[in-house]
Chain A
């Protein structure tokens, strides 16, 4: 169901009922869930929270709760969706990417047909049938276009924050969660840069509204209150909670620009640090214990030097939060921490619900130790990604299959368990493609998309396959692999599971891997 006015059509309908909240396993969904939970607490609406990891989970949960509940709210960072009217009207209207995280009861299929019962003239009936056939053809065409590409619309967390704002129940906590949801889309490369920048501008208005509300010279706020501030900060992952050196080595932007998997790259990094006048001892220390005189102008100094080394976008617009005397986090830090918790493979009994709840908890301000453990996990994950990228490039296991690049992670690779999860594998894919583009000389290869496979479940013998679009400056991040995978699987009758909400991620039996790939090659060439 598509809705125009989120307050009237959605919240007021839901307000007096018992709600089932099905949340997909990504950070944006988590943030949207937190905002919605806070709203429900305010109005004392009863709800049931069900984490789902794929379409199958969704249908089981739906069936379980079907008896009691009439309206379901499914949140995930959904595919870009044209508005309702555009599909079912005949005129040509521009498609707006109104991605919303909301879909209601699957039972109500949207139907735009109007049936006119007129026993009258035959000519009119024929005329109608022709119109109907035309309409059906156009509908098929639009649906095909719709389903051909997959892309992401506005963050679900931001949509729910807008709802809270309309209800004037927005708080700084909710604003911070919506910022995290937006940053998640950027970190996992789901939205193009322009959209990210315009969304940041939208959020910035809310941030300044909240800041102006409370800050006054005489009546300054308690230090425990949360303060959100706009930061034009460096694109180094987790650098406030790590050492600067480690962060530069393990963030994909700097690692790929310097090509840190080569000796030459390492030397270049040393030169870079020397150029800025940062002593190696300081840089390898924990960031919080670095010399204050160095920290003062760090961002500007790094920006100047990185311009010389060809890294034009080392700084990115983002937000940071401060509460208490020593807690300050950037939005991207929290995204990495929550993602690491969500997909942690630390313990043996990996209950996905458990991980989901842990990740959800880490987003609250009161669970700092959870957040810090998430940051540690995220550091390990980033290091693992970097090492895997380095080894893949050095051993040349990325093969060009014609219309795309292909890489398979063998089972013995260190940390391969980490990459059996979709989010981690997508990150690895993205970094690997960027690194490959930097390191190859073949001009044609630079424009190819990448498909990556990694073992998912050793007992069942399945691999997880992810496809990402080619690396380009102005990509609109539309991913066509969803349909391509489906068609390839059909034509070779491979045993695949298209369970994930993101259609470009599938599970495949290892034995069918080669014929699936061949089918893909023929399909895409």
Chain B
């Protein structure tokens, strides 16, 4: 999967906005949205929120988890634990990037939030690498990882599966009597 596809899926998440226009309920294939009244908050998917924000028709409210203290706690928890702690949101990385790029004036302390989210991401990806490394070293057959988000899985998926394939080929060629082994580039 391409990271942009993951971002596309993330845009389906709901976020609160405060519109400055009024519109009746709209009926879309994915669900109903609205009605919109100026000054009253409404729940819309992120793709619509960003479009309205760029057209200066709304103000985006930061999601609940996007708060400096909460993120600091999560970061500390993540650093303490060996396993993965529950992520702030299943799409926390993409949402942070989208919201902070387009609506940073509506989000207080945007710079600190960016730093904190990056820290959490770095810790989790480091744990993932460590876990993949030990998986291969111990030649396990299966593993279970909880609380991973789609973006994190996506970063390691191609590499991990590709390298497992290579290792399988290598191992199968080590069997005695395998005259058809491809020694080729190895």
Contacts and interface: CB of A to CB of B under 8 A. Distances in A.
A169 interface: yes
Contact of B110 (A41, A44, A218, A221): A221
29 contacts: A41-B54, A41-B55, A42-B54, A42-B55, A42-B56, A43-B55, A44-B55, A168-B20, A169-B56, A171-B56, A214-B105, A218-B108, A219-B108, A219-B109, A220-B109, A221-B104, A221-B105, A221-B110, A222-B100, A222-B104, A222-B105, A222-B107, A222-B110, A222-B111, A223-B111, A224-B104, A224-B110, A225-B104, A225-B105
Interface in A215-243: 218-225
Contacts of B109: 219-220
Nearest to A172: B105
Contacts of B100: 222
Interface string B87-128: 000000000000010001101111100000000000000000
Contacts of B54: 41-42
Interface in B61-108: 100, 104-105, 107-108
Interface string A199-227: 00000000000000010001111111100
Nearest to A42: B55
Contacts of B104: 221-222, 224-225
Nearest to B110: A222
Contacts of B56: 42, 169, 171
Interface residues of A, number: 16
Contacts of A42: 54-57
Contacts of B108: 218-219
Nearest to A164: B56
Interface of A: 41-44, 168-169, 171, 214, 218-225
B186 to A, nearest CB: 45
A18 to B, nearest CB: 19
A44 B52 CA distance: 12
Nearest to B20: A168
A389 to B, nearest CB: 45
> Which interface residue of A43, A44, A168, A221 has the most chain B CB atoms within 10 A?
A221
B121 to A, nearest CB: 19
Among all A-B residue pairs, the 3 with the closest Cβ atoms: A222-B110, A219-B108, A222-B104
Given A169-B56, A220-B109, 7 more contacts: A42-B55, A42-B57, A44-B55, A171-B56, A221-B105, A221-B110, A222-B111
Interface in B32-72: 54-57
Nearest to A170: B56
A444 B171 CA distance: 100
Contacts of A225: 104-105
Contacts of B111: 222-224
A68 B20 CA distance: 34
A11 to B, nearest CB: 14
A220 B107 CA distance: 10
A42 B20 CA distance: 13
Nearest to B111: A222
Contacts of A220: 109
> Which interface residue of A42, A171, A219, A222 has the most chain B CB atoms within 10 A?
A222
A43 B109 CA distance: 30
> Which interface residue of B20, B100, B108 has the most chain A CB atoms within 10 A?
B108
Nearest to B55: A42
